[in-house]
Structure 1
């Protein structure tokens, strides 16, 4: 249970079981051995491939032993570069167990993104899919970091390559498995890349204790609700949630990538009860023209995370699907996943829930550092057992306040019952003539238009006003809505300073991170390309 002190600091429960070995892989292995060994743990909804909890336990020990024979040592970095697949989870758990450090590269990375991520973690070993091996090998090899590649698929292999089966099928007695003794000192076990919504991604160092605590945080405990996961496991939301599901012992269905028809077919086939999604999928569900062709009545809970979802979108979803209940969470890479979460089947509208165990939160004035009280919006600052170790190769002095709280850059407030409400990010607020305009608020209004499929908002520079709210819009198929129609539609629903004075630009797709956060820096770049001429001074 959370509690609030007189100082305005809110504490989540800090009592957890922490094994003496302080190895997350060993902790999960012990959990696996308590589950029914013949129970299905993971199902690939696209290929129908399955694996049981008992098989996962055996594969972890097999692969970890093989890694040791390859020369992988404590502190070595091992990378995974692949779409979601069963081998992905097996590799990650084995690396944790071995004492090495795991890192993940998003399979949608551009050449520049991949090169940048490689330069942060400098992995010695890489597990990857055959397709990415074919298309990205030259980019990876040019960095000179990788000593050995392990392929998940059959492909023409170079001399520095192994096949995954060579590592996973060398049977080891599970009772003789060994792991490093950290002697009570948490060690880094994972490098995750921050979403990079406002700049290049940073490598966040997560340790074994962070993950052990995170995996014990409460979950929706109805085991009869089969979850479906689509978030890439290279993202924080994706990897933390799948690790928690495995430790929890619930059969989980996943998909390697998103395709609307495949997604709906999978819900229907496996009678999915719990959807773990980013906000764009909620918009897809209530705006989809083909969802009526599928039976998705099994879905009881839609859990939204990774980016804000507005009350308007929730109302639209529930209007179309009254049997669905939407729960929200707020989290970040730096807190090893969730910071607040709503696990109550009667959520408070607009809220991202209450503090999650392992966290300590305060709301601060970002200018004066004063701790604020109930109902006062300010910067979210966090610390606790799940707080990361810092960024690779970066001076963190300015990232913490005097009390050791990490400055998140997110603006929020909490109510008298401890429910939190996210306003926006400090860097993303648009400043129009001294007024603050929240991009997510305008996006919610625009998404209500029946001819709009998706939207993103940012500020266009202006010599008099500072910034002009500007919308990027994806039209519904065959829609003929115009820029002026959207401007007028918004003007009728918002305060004068929130109007789209920067206009509307139509796109085929809104640029987003894997977790669904809008990449506003890319919108800014598109803005300069679309309208490279100097913007005129604004008019009232």
Structure 2
């Protein structure tokens, strides 16, 4: 049971029955085999392609056996660089099963980002979509890391490459296929890259135990609703949530990329009941005119993660779609996905819920390390069975405190019922003349303006004030709005120190991670490219 100690430390349920082999691939396969073999496991919402749980189980063991024949050994790193597709998950589960380590490269990575990730995890084998293979082969090959390429699509191959179908076609007896037994000792299963919102991404090592614990945590809802997944499976939110849904035997509809009309068509076609989305898509539901063309009445629940959604945005959604319930979770790569999660049974609007099983949380003053109590904002620090093993090539000493808690860098508080509320990230807080300004609060206010489609806020350096709150705004199509309109709109709704003294810059899009977090370092880069004459003068 969840409890709170007098010291202000909050516990999630720590009782877990984990298999002694500690192989998450064997754990997932066992879960899949427990479900109706004829039931669809995955459906591509764009093409209608699907796979049943029975077919999935058979292909996992086929691929696992083929990997062993290729020479993949325990501890080898196997990478996947592809859009969301059925082969992506089959590969992931098979890599786990045979004892190797899986890592993912987003198929939209730039050349520099791809090279950076390759040099972190140093994979020997790479599963890759035909499109990326054709576009990035030379870049990848120049790193001299990859021993063998496995290509998902039917494209002309180089000598060091094979087709994915060659690994799948050789059928193996499920009962005779051996998984790698770690004999109760945690080993690395996955390397995920932190979102890099404030700098270059780091490679976070997640163990088989981490992933099993995550898979045993409660689902978003126990209602019989079909979920739609659109987050890239190369992201933490995407891969962890789809793995959990698979473990619980739920048919999942997915899309390989986001397109507003396709997204809405898929909801209507498959009568989607649960949307798993980042906050920008909730804003889309609030403001889109295209939504009116489609029947979205089947959507009962929206689960949001990646960044906080304020009560104001939720109120806007409820005004337009009273039947939709928004629940939030809070998590990170270093916590193997979710750390807290709200419930659709007793939700608290604006909250990210209670501590999930497998975690212990304390909230501290980051300057004094003093543990804080109910209602006192401070840094969230976590430890427990689902907390990661550390970063590739990095010393843990700098990221944990004296008691072994991981320092998340996120500011939050909890209420008397143990519900948590996210304020912002320490590094993203704007410091104006000694005052702290949270970018997300200002973004919420700006998004209330009818001419605004999207917004991001950061601090512009200022010699007198420290930083000036500055907004980047994407206009609604055809909207006529000028900088002063936004400045005045915000000034009438916030305290004096929160005004947009850094001005407003209009842009075509707000840079974000695949999971929907605003890349404030990119906003800072955009600011640095503005000439001094174009930057607003400080109005102190």
Q: TM-score range by the shorter chain?
A: over 0.9
Q: How much does 1:182 deviate?
A: 1.2
Q: State how far apart, in whole Å, the 2-side matches of 1:27 and 1:536 are.
A: 57
Whether the 8 Å contact between 2:487 and 2:500 is mirrored in structure 1 is: yes
Measured on the aligned residues, the alpha-carbon RMSD in Å equals 1.0
What is the match of residue 348 of structure 1? 348
My pick for the range that moved more, 175-184 or 235-244, is 175-184
What is the match of residue 404 of structure 1? 404
Q: State how far apart, in whole Å, the 2-side matches of 1:379 and 1:309 are.
A: 19
Q: How much does 1:138 deviate?
A: 1.1
Whether the 8 Å contact between 1:462 and 1:536 is mirrored in structure 2 is: no
My pick for the range that moved more, 266-275 or 280-289, is 280-289
SS at 2:460 equivalent: strand
What is the match of residue 311 of structure 2? 311
Residues 325-363 of structure 1 show CA distances to partners (whole Å, capped at 9, x for unaligned) of 000000000000101001234421211000000010000
Whether the 8 Å contact between 1:275 and 1:303 is mirrored in structure 2 is: yes
What is the match of residue 33 of structure 1? 33
What is the match of residue 205 of structure 2? 205
Q: State how far apart, in whole Å, the 2-side matches of 1:226 and 1:412 are.
A: 32
What is the match of residue 127 of structure 2? 127
What is the match of residue 531 of structure 1? 531
Whether the 8 Å contact between 2:221 and 2:343 is mirrored in structure 1 is: no
What is the match of residue 469 of structure 2? 469
Whether the 8 Å contact between 2:503 and 2:536 is mirrored in structure 1 is: no
Q: How much does 1:179 deviate?
A: 1.5
Whether the 8 Å contact between 1:463 and 1:536 is mirrored in structure 2 is: no
What is the match of residue 393 of structure 2? 393
Whether the 8 Å contact between 1:240 and 1:336 is mirrored in structure 2 is: yes
Q: State how far apart, in whole Å, the 2-side matches of 1:221 and 1:434 are.
A: 43
What is the match of residue 501 of structure 1? 501
What is the match of residue 85 of structure 1? 85
SS at 2:407 equivalent: strand
Q: State how far apart, in whole Å, the 1-side matches of 2:325 and 2:74 are.
A: 44
What is the match of residue 430 of structure 2? 430
Task: Confirm or deny that 1:8 pairs with 2:45.
Answer: no
SS at 1:391 equivalent: coil
Q: How much does 1:51 deviate?
A: 0.3
SS at 2:239 equivalent: helix
What is the match of residue 192 of structure 1? 192
SS at 1:459 equivalent: strand
Q: How much does 1:539 deviate?
A: 3.0
Task: Confirm or deny that 1:373 pairs with 2:373.
Answer: yes
Q: How much does 1:530 deviate?
A: 2.2
Q: How much does 1:50 deviate?
A: 0.4
Unaligned runs of 5+ in 2: none
SS at 2:529 equivalent: helix
Q: How much does 1:145 deviate?
A: 0.6
SS at 1:90 equivalent: helix
SS at 2:31 equivalent: helix
Whether the 8 Å contact between 1:306 and 1:517 is mirrored in structure 2 is: yes
SS at 1:215 equivalent: helix
What is the match of residue 364 of structure 1? 364
Residues 354-373 of structure 1 show CA distances to partners (whole Å, capped at 9, x for unaligned) of 00000100000000100000
What is the match of residue 284 of structure 1? 284
What is the match of residue 160 of structure 2? 160
SS at 2:231 equivalent: coil
Q: State how far apart, in whole Å, the 2-side matches of 1:292 and 1:162 are.
A: 46
Task: Confirm or deny that 1:521 pairs with 2:517.
Answer: no
Whether the 8 Å contact between 1:39 and 1:53 is mirrored in structure 2 is: yes
Q: How much does 1:526 deviate?
A: 0.2
Q: State how far apart, in whole Å, the 2-side matches of 1:532 and 1:179 are.
A: 61
Residues 223-259 of structure 1 show CA distances to partners (whole Å, capped at 9, x for unaligned) of 5200000000000000000000000000000000000
Q: How much does 1:281 deviate?
A: 0.5
Q: How much does 1:535 deviate?
A: 6.1
Q: How much does 1:531 deviate?
A: 3.3
Task: Confirm or deny that 1:242 pairs with 2:204.
Answer: no
What is the match of residue 54 of structure 1? 54
Task: Confirm or deny that 1:489 pairs with 2:489.
Answer: yes
What is the match of residue 478 of structure 2? 478
Q: State how far apart, in whole Å, the 1-side matches of 2:256 and 2:361 are.
A: 35
SS at 2:69 equivalent: helix
What is the match of residue 326 of structure 2? 326
What is the match of residue 69 of structure 2? 69
What is the match of residue 215 of structure 1? 215
Whether the 8 Å contact between 1:33 and 1:57 is mirrored in structure 2 is: yes
Alignment of 1:264-275 (within 5 A): 264-275=264-275
Whether the 8 Å contact between 2:502 and 2:537 is mirrored in structure 1 is: no
Q: How many residues are treated as equivalent by the alignment?
A: 540
Q: State how far apart, in whole Å, the 1-side matches of 2:516 and 2:149 are.
A: 30
Q: State how far apart, in whole Å, the 1-side matches of 2:302 and 2:537 are.
A: 44
SS at 2:216 equivalent: coil
Q: State how far apart, in whole Å, the 2-side matches of 1:285 and 1:508 are.
A: 19
Task: Confirm or deny that 1:183 pairs with 2:183.
Answer: yes
Q: State how far apart, in whole Å, the 1-side matches of 2:216 and 2:469 are.
A: 42
Whether the 8 Å contact between 2:153 and 2:163 is mirrored in structure 1 is: yes
TM-score where L is the length of structure 1: 0.99
Q: How much does 1:25 deviate?
A: 0.2
Whether the 8 Å contact between 1:22 and 1:186 is mirrored in structure 2 is: yes
Q: How much does 1:532 deviate?
A: 4.6
What is the match of residue 109 of structure 1? 109
Whether the 8 Å contact between 1:223 and 1:250 is mirrored in structure 2 is: no
